[in-house]
Every structure is written in C-alpha cells, then in structure tokens.
Amino acid sequence: MVAAERVSITEEDQLRVNWYLLFARLLGEAPSKKTLDLISSLQGDDSEIGEAIAALARAASGVSQAELQQEYFDLFIGVGGSELTPYASYYLTGFLHEKPLAKLRDDMWSLGIRRQDDLKEPEDHIAALCEMMAGLISGSFGEPQDLETQKRFFQTHIGCWAPRFFEDLEAADAARFYMPAGTLGRLFMEIERQAFELAA
C-alpha cells in the first residue's frame, strides 16, 4: 500500500500499529534475520498473550533462515496448493477474488488507500489487511481515522475471518515458528474485537 507521512498518535494506538505491522511483516513473507533478531529479543509476562510472546521469541531464536523459508512456503505457497489460504475472500466464500475483495477495493478507494503497482497478491491477503489497519490508525494514508471508521474496517475486512485464520495457523501441520504467531494473532484479534465493542 502507498503511505503518506505518519502523524502523531497516542501511545496506545502506536502499540496497536506495531502489532498490526508485526503481523504484516510475519505473514507477507518469511521474516528476515533482522526481524527474527528483533522478535527473539521480545519478553512476555505470565499472561496468556505474554506467554505467546515468549514462545514466539524462543521460536525466532531457534529457527534458521532456510527452515523459515521452507515453513513459509509450505504454509502459504506450496507446490500444487498451500496448507493455508490467507485471503478474506477464500475464508468468507471458499473462493478467491470474490465479493469481499470487491468490497475491500471500494473501501480502499474511499479511504484513500492505493494499491502499489508492483503488488502481486490480491489486496485481501491477511498481511495487506494488517498493513492497511495500521495505516488507518497511524494516519499513513492521510489523517488517522476515527475509532468508528477503524471499527467498521476491522469488522468488515478483518474481524469476520482473521480469527479463524489465526486458529488454523496455530493448528497447521507445517507451523513450528508460526504456531505461536497464530496464537498471538488470535489473542490480538480478540483484544481488538472487545475494545471496539467497549468503545461503542
């Protein structure tokens, strides 16, 4: 996605942005060594999400780039099909390039989000949606969007399917590094859902 200059936001919203950007980075491609080093330095407390953070940090410190590239390929690309299909249209309709993608493109247009010319994946890929959500919070696509706009985008394009995707990622046969990433995603989606409900 094409982003504008970021403006100042609250510390809480910056934390949300960081979470969404982490998931975008993890799910858009196999993480680089720099990303793995950053993740391996994370520390978690004894809460459920803290334990998932610690598990992901351990996984990041114990995986090689070759292993991670193969795991990402098996999970999301595959030969003749991947274990998971990380697109909203697929989760919501069973097919790619369906109405959820068309609705997303309409909403992107109205929100000032423009697809990058070199983007190969459809815009309803989970990584792209996480990047868009981060941009709506941070103001990367203009001004930061109000909570109602964020809620509408989340419920329409992320919250309606991403929790199931992250549950599937937790349970995927090929997921070793990505298993705790799935746990983190599931927990974070629930936190977002509850926060939006409380703010209503």
What pLDDT digit, counting tens, does each position of 60-98 carry? 999 999 999 999 999 999 888 899 999 999 999 999 999
Contacts of 15 (CB under 8 A, 6+ apart): none
DSSP state of 146: P
Q: In this model, does residue 35 exceed pLDDT 50?
A: yes
Give the count of alpha carbons within 13 A of 182, CB side only.
Answer: 20
Q: Identify the three-state secondary structure at position 182.
A: helix
What residue segments make up the domains of the chain, in order of their start? 11-28+80-174+182-199
125 pairs with which residues across the strands? 87
- How far is residue 28's CA from residue 149's CA, in Å, rounded to a whole number? 24
Burial of residue 171 (number of CB atoms within 10 Å: 0-12, 13-18, 19+): exposed
Q: What is the pLDDT of residue 2?
A: 44
pTM of the complete model: 0.93
Mention every residue, 6+ apart, whose C-beta is less than 8 A from residue 67: 176, 177
CA angle 178, 128, 184 (to 5 degrees): 30
CATH homologous superfamily of 11-28+80-174+182-199 equals TorD-like (1.10.3480.10)
Instruction: Render pLDDT for 115-167 as a digit per residue (tens, 0 to 9).
Output: 887 778 899 999 999 999 999 999 999 899 999 999 999 999 999 999 999 99
> Taking phi first (over 0 means left), then psi (-120 to 50 degrees means alpha), and beta for anything else, what does residue 5 get?
beta
